[in-house]
Amino acid sequence: MSAVPATLVREANALREAGRLAEAEAAYLRILGRWPSLPDCWFNLGVVQRRSGRFEAALASYQEALMRGISGPEEVHLNRAVIYCDCLRQSEAAERELREALRLNASYVPALLNLANLHEDRGQRDEARTLYERALTLEPWCFLALARLASLQSADALDERLIARLREALARPEASAADRANLGFALGRALDAMGDYRGAFAAYQAANRDSRASALPAVVRYDRAAQERVTEQLIAAPARTLAGRAPTGASGPRPIFVCGMFRSGSTLAEQLIAGHPGVAAGGELELLPEMIARELLPFPESLAAAPEAKLRQLAGQYRERIAALFPHAACVTDKRPDNFFCIGLIRTLFPDALIVHTTRDALDTCLSVYFLHLDRRMSYALDLMDTGHFYRQYRRLMAHWMELYGAAIVDFDYDRFVRAPEATGSALFEALGLEWDPRFLEFPPSGRAVRTASVWQVREPLYRHSSGRARHYEKELAPLREYLADLLPPAAVAAEHR
């Protein structure tokens, strides 16, 4: 068999790097159809298929790369693990791939970090800590491992030695802006837990600055005017269209959408609801955002003109996907907090869906968002006043949805639940038409993966110390309190004038 022309491989690689995924896949398949013994091409085909959402095909291509003797097979097993864990929700298969990667190369730090993260998701804190420590033994200044290890410490295990190590890591010249952001958020959390609130706020300020510096400005700049336009477009979308295009004949699990501001108790609400034996916790599914990006742009304008057949098709595809992920569930939660942007779409596609809107004290919510290392696409979180602006737009939009669909939306108040868990929980279940059992408060069952920034808060019986957190930062929150004054209860506004 003749040697593969290098130009064909270069062309396929260029298509992949340009994001022209369908063309790149076709190019790799043409090459492999004639020259199948090319492990690197199989690997790159797997990369393209994963980015295209064709996860089973990607797994098969990666397997071909392994069978063809690719160099660095541990990296292939890592990529397969990521697909199993993040895309197919098969954590056991992901663990097998990661352990195989470490069998091949016991010093492969990326596999150690991913396996540690998997243990975190399962609530296995000791196992995660051991793996992060092992990574640090191999790479003493593995900044991500140090940051995660610090974040795993309980409040009574934090000490000045850990604080000093975090500060030393932050000062190292090889630490990138992204590294400093990870370390800075860990330092802020540690100082907050130790009661050094002024130091914690300064650490979080620096961490957010570093997070902004670690990405292109065009990616991380929050545009207040653009966000206001999004809100206005959603409010202006014809209510009759949104309310009157409900496809019927639904099959598959019943969706329960849990939405609201980030850090408003959505993880807590989901895990409470998922205590019911008929409910599966879907976590932060990407299905609605992917549907909009693939089929409904420009959104929401396209929804008004969408043919009934297309809406039925989209609703069916969503239900098929959650049924495949959770085949035995009667209901499945979809806990992307920012699905509050999509309530009109949800009511259109899923008239039987349940919608839980999580709420929490406004200042606590905004502060907690600012203190969390969110995806940089959520650029409002990098600035406290931008967070307040985003919160104001969220409240505007939720007021609109409540006016249109109030009977279909159930509020879950985080602070009320912390004060009176059984009364609040039973009221939520009654509103959802689910049978209540006080044992649901003993969540989550051992081993259930919780893929969220709130993972350790959920592992605790009740996360009481987060409610009222803003009182420790009254001086730092004064400008935000003034900006949100009309949305705050009188007691919170009065705090500024004490």
pLDDT tens sequence across 440-453: 998 654 445 555 54
Q: What is the mean pLDDT of residues 406-435?
A: 96
pLDDT band (50, 70, 90) for residue 3: confident
Q: What is the mean pLDDT of residues 129-149?
A: 97
Task: Note whether 170 and 154 are within 8 A (CB).
Answer: no
Task: Note whether 208 and 370 are within 8 A (CB).
Answer: yes
pLDDT band (50, 70, 90) for residue 1: low
Q: Provide, for the chain, the percentages of residues in helix, strand and coil under a 3-state DSSP scheme, each rounded to the nearest 5.
A: 70, 5, 25
pLDDT band (50, 70, 90) for residue 72: very high
pLDDT digits (tens, 9 = 90+) for 22-69: 999 999 999 999 999 999 999 999 999 999 999 999 999 999 999 999
What pTM, to 2 d.p., does this model score? 0.87
- Work out the angle between the directed axes of helices 474-483 and 362-370 (0-180°, nearest 10): 120
Residue 455: predicted pLDDT: 39
Beta-bridged to residue 285, according to DSSP, are: none
Indicate if the pLDDT at residue 366 is higher than 90: yes
Give the chain's domains with CATH numbers.
Answer: 144-214 (no CATH), 224-497 (3.40.50.300)
Residue 147: predicted pLDDT: 96
Q: What is the mean pLDDT of residues 281-308?
A: 90
pLDDT digits (tens, 9 = 90+) for 229-275: 999 999 998 754 434 444 554 578 999 999 999 999 999 999 999 99
Q: What is the mean pLDDT of residues 377-392?
A: 95
Of 113-122, 151-160, 312-321, where does mean pLDDT reach its minimum?
151-160
Rounded Cα distance between 267 and 458, Å, is 7
Chain center to CA of 140: 29
pLDDT band (50, 70, 90) for residue 399: very high
pLDDT band (50, 70, 90) for residue 498: very low
Task: Note whether 266 and 358 are within 8 A (CB).
Answer: yes
Residue 34: predicted pLDDT: 95
Question: Average per-residue pLDDT in the chain?
Answer: 90
